[in-house]
């Protein structure tokens, strides 16, 4: 399952892997001397859980052959190998760990490009009848220029320690859907970082469920009809607001 907009790369990359990279070629075989990235996530609530690490390896040995839609010319790009790595909980402590090989090895000499980590609600009923878990939050950490080509990544030197705060966000959809979901809302739902010399990532998120923000969608598209965002203090966002003001939530 894809966890959010910033993780669309894992949802779309599968379609780009072509026959030049066989299933056997995508098998990882880290060499004995590979460096590892150790992951530690502290689960902040009994209602949340870390999702499996979503990892992307790339290869300049086993490339993808693509065709230009403009002139029909064939060209090559790096091979892609998206995988998921489960985390393991340490002694029922709420701390979940895993490790990722920087050098994936194998016939294609796979190299770590980027990965996603984070948390999501697994139980929503405690904050309202009929609620279902919504989108996740977390971090995208890149290790090469291929992953950071959009320019949105901030470089971090050494090990990474993050402790962002999140709030509940209930979204009631009325147009083409009757689903009401419970998601986590942060200053940025996915933080984008470029790792430099990183061997450990600690993600210790905080969750404050005393401040619930609500989104109430429109039942019908018509002039002058807008979705409504209601903040924890009862105030309503200006008409046309699409994304809640995190600073307003966090300040009160």
- Structure confidence by residue, pLDDT tens digits, 106-152: 999 999 999 999 999 999 999 999 999 999 999 999 999 877 777 78
Burial 161-172, CB ≥16 within 10 A → b, else e? ebebbbbbbbbb
pLDDT at 71: 67
- Are 170 and 229 contacting, i.e. CB atoms less than 8 angstroms apart? no
Q: At 9, which helix (H) or strand (E)? A: helix 8-12
CA 15 to chain centre: 19
Q: Please report, for the chain, the start and end positions of each structural domain, with discontinuous segments joined by +.
A: 5-16+34-251
Per residue, the 3-state secondary structure of 86-105, as one string, reads CCEECCCCCEEEEEEECEEE
Beta-strand relationship, 137-142 and 88-89 = unpaired
What is d(CA 91, CA 170) in angstroms, rounded to the nearest whole number? 32
Say yes or no to pLDDT of 67 above 80: no
Residue 212 has pLDDT above 60, yes or no: yes
How do 165-172 and 180-185 pair as beta strands? antiparallel
Mean pLDDT of 59-72: 78
Q: Do residues 183 and 20 make contact, with C-beta atoms less than 8 angstroms apart?
A: no
- % of residues, the chain, pLDDT over 90: 69
Given this model, what pLDDT does residue 183 score?
97
- Enter the tokens of residue 109: 């000499």
CA–CA separation, 130 vs 218, rounded Å? 19
Residue 10 has pLDDT above 90, yes or no: no
Alpha helices, H only, 132-218: none
- Judge contact between 69 and 101, C-beta under 8 A: no
Give me the pLDDT at residue 109, please.
Answer: 94
Neighbours of 233 (CB within 10 A): 10
Q: What is the mean pLDDT of residues 22-29?
A: 72
């Amino acid at each position: 399952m894809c966890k959010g907009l910033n993780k669309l790369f894992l949802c779309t990359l599968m379609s780009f892997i072509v026959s030049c990279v066989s299933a056997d070629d995508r098998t990882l075989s880290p060499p004995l001397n590979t460096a590892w990235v150790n992951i530690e996530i502290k689960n902040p609530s009994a209602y949340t859980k870390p999702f499996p690490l979503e990892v992307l390896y790339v290869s300049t040995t086993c490339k993808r052959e693509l065709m230009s839609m403009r002139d029909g010319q064939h060209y090559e790009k790096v091979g892609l190998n998206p995988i998921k790595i489960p985390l393991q909980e340490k002694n029922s402590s709420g701390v979940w760990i895993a490790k990722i090989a920087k050098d994936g090895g194998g016939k294609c000499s796979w190299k770590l490009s980027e990965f996603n980590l984070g948390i999501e609600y697994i139980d929503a009923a405690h904050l309202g009848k009929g609620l279902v878990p919504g989108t996740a939050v977390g971090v995208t950490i890149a290790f090469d220029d291929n992953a950071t080509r959009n320019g949105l990544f901030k470089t971090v030197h050494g090990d990474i320690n993050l402790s962002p705060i999140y709030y509940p966000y209930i979204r009631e959809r009325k147009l083409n859907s009757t689903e009401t979901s419970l998601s986590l809302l942060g200053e940025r739902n996915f933080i984008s970082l470029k790792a430099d010399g990183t061997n450990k990532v600690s993600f210790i998120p905080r969750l404050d469920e005393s401040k619930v923000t609500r989104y109430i969608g429109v039942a019908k598209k018509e002039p002058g009809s807008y979705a409504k965002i209601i903040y924890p203090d009862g105030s309503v966002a200006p008409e046309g607001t699409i994304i809640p003001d995190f600073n307003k939530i966090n300040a009160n």
